[in-house]
């Protein structure tokens, strides 16, 4: 196993896990403006990277098919919604609930695989999915409303992954095309709020302006690290490490930003964590059985 790949994966997941700290530093900026800057500066940075790596011709050739444009266009819309809800949730003191969305996302992806790719789940996997659903229902019952932030994040990212599975674009080119779809609407919105005197760029000080510009780096760097990692370490290792990000987000919400974590939330989260543990252990056991050589006596 490539040790560099593990470090790349750790870098990606720790970056995503600590992202709430960055969005909190931009708390005075409306979520929609942060999203707009994230798109615009990501578009610019990825464009520079593609040019520096002399991949413009490859990029232009890889996006030529109508199916790629269709799937990536839909994926870009889902990604925009996911980013907006996440930024708003963090800066509205809902980090804990947003972390739940990324905890249950793997199980949502499993269900989408069953529905759209006719994948079959083993009985223990169904137990894990059922437990996760029970945890969500428990939280809904006690709070009188579904954990909609968690569900929106899990569903948008789940369907985003579904569309990415249908695309042949590698990580950098895929994100570049997604930002291309979102760039003009984002730029138009930012120019509008600036001309109306409501924009945060420059007007809210140098520190805020620099943080808005660096959103491009904050967005692109973890994706590049993840792309390098995914090509050099086993998928099972990627699956294990992916829980670093929501765990860090959860700890930040409870320990650093003092978001309430009631007994009811503890019970609901614990049911979902148990579901994830069962799902992971079952997958690990199945993988070992599938890869262990037969012993002949």
Render pLDDT for 231-259 as a digit per residue (tens, 0 to 9).
Answer: 677 666 666 788 899 999 999 999 999 99
Does the residue 296 lie in any domain?
Answer: no
Is the pLDDT at 64 greater than 80, yes or no? no
Does the residue 295 lie in any domain?
Answer: no
The parent domain of residue 60 ranges over 3-287
Return the number of other C-beta atoms located less than 10 Å from residue 181's C-beta: 20
pTM score, two decimals? 0.90
Is the pLDDT at 269 greater than 80, yes or no? yes
108 confidence band (pLDDT: 50, 70, 90): confident
Cα 285 from Cα 292, distance rounded (Å)? 11
Cα 15 from Cα 25, distance rounded (Å)? 15
Does the residue 156 lie in any domain?
Answer: yes
pLDDT value for 279: 85
Does the residue 294 lie in any domain?
Answer: no
pLDDT value for 42: 95
Average pLDDT score over the chain: 88
Contacts of 219 (CB under 8 A, 6+ apart): 38, 41, 42, 45
Return the number of other C-beta atoms located less than 10 Å from residue 205's C-beta: 11
CB 101 within 8 A of CB 150: yes
Does the residue 188 lie in any domain?
Answer: yes
Is the pLDDT at 28 greater than 90, yes or no? yes
Q: Could you give the percent of the chain with pLDDT greater than 90?
A: 56
pLDDT value for 295: 44
Lowest-confidence segment of 69-78, 87-96, 180-189, 230-239 by average pLDDT: 230-239
3-state secondary structure the chain: CCHHHHHHHHHHHHHHHCHHHHHHHCCCCCHHHHHHHHHHHHHHHHHHHHHHCCCHHHHHHHCCCHHHHHHHHHHHHHHHHHHHHHHHHHHCCCHHHHHHHHHHHHHHHHHHHHHHHCCCCCHHHHHHHHHHHHHHHHHHHHHCCCCHHHHHHHHHHHHHHHHHHCCCCCHHHHHHHHHHHHHHHHHHHHHHHHHCCCCCCCCCCHHHHHHHHHHHHHHHHHHHHHHHHHCCCCHHHHHHHCCHHHHHHHHHHHHHCCCCCCHHHHHHHHHHHHHHHHHHHHHHHHHHHHHCCCCCC
Is the pLDDT at 22 greater than 90, yes or no? yes
Q: Which pair of structure tokens corresponds to residue 212?
A: 């808005």
Does the residue 183 lie in any domain?
Answer: yes
Is the pLDDT at 296 greater than 50, yes or no? no
Q: What is the domain count for the chain?
A: 1
Is the pLDDT at 223 greater than 60, yes or no? yes
Does the residue 293 lie in any domain?
Answer: no
pLDDT value for 90: 97
59 against 191, higher pLDDT: 191
291 against 4, higher pLDDT: 4
Q: Which pair of structure tokens corresponds to residue 129?
A: 């999915």
147 confidence band (pLDDT: 50, 70, 90): very high
Does the residue 297 lie in any domain?
Answer: no
Is the pLDDT at 133 greater than 80, yes or no? yes
């Amino acid at each position: 196993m490539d040790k560099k790949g593990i470090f790349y994966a750790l870098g990606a997941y720790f970056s995503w896990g600590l992202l709430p700290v960055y969005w909190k530093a931009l708390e005075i900026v409306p979520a929609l403006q942060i999203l707009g800057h994230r798109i615009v500066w990501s578009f610019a940075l990825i464009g520079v990277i593609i040019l520096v790596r002399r991949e413009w011709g490859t990029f232009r050739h890889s996006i030529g098919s109508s199916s790629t444009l269709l799937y990536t266009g839909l994926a870009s819309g889902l990604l925009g919604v996911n980013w907006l809800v996440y930024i708003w949730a963090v800066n509205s003191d809902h980090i804990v609930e947003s972390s739940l969305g990324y905890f249950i996302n793997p199980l949502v992806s499993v269900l989408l695989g069953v529905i759209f790719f006719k994948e079959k789940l083993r009985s223990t996997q169904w137990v894990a999915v059922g437990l996760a659903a029970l945890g969500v229902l428990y939280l809904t019952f006690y709070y009188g409303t579904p954990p909609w932030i968690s569900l929106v994040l899990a569903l948008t990212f789940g369907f985003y992954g579904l569309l990415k599975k249908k695309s042949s674009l590698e990580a950098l080119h895929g994100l570049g095309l997604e930002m291309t779809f979102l760039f003009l609407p984002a730029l138009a919105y930012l120019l509008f709020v600036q001309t109306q005197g409501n924009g945060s760029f420059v007007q809210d000080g140098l520190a805020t302006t620099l943080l808005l510009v660096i959103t491009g780096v904050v967005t692109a760097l973890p994706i590049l690290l993840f792309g390098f990692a995914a090509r050099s370490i086993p998928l099972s290792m990627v699956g294990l490490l992916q829980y670093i990000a929501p765990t860090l987000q959860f700890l930040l919400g409870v320990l650093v930003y003092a978001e309430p974590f009631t007994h009811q939330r503890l019970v609901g989260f614990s049911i979902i964590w148990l579901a994830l543990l069962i799902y992971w252990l079952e997958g690990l056991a199945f993988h070992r059985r599938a890869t262990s050589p037969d012993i002949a006596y």
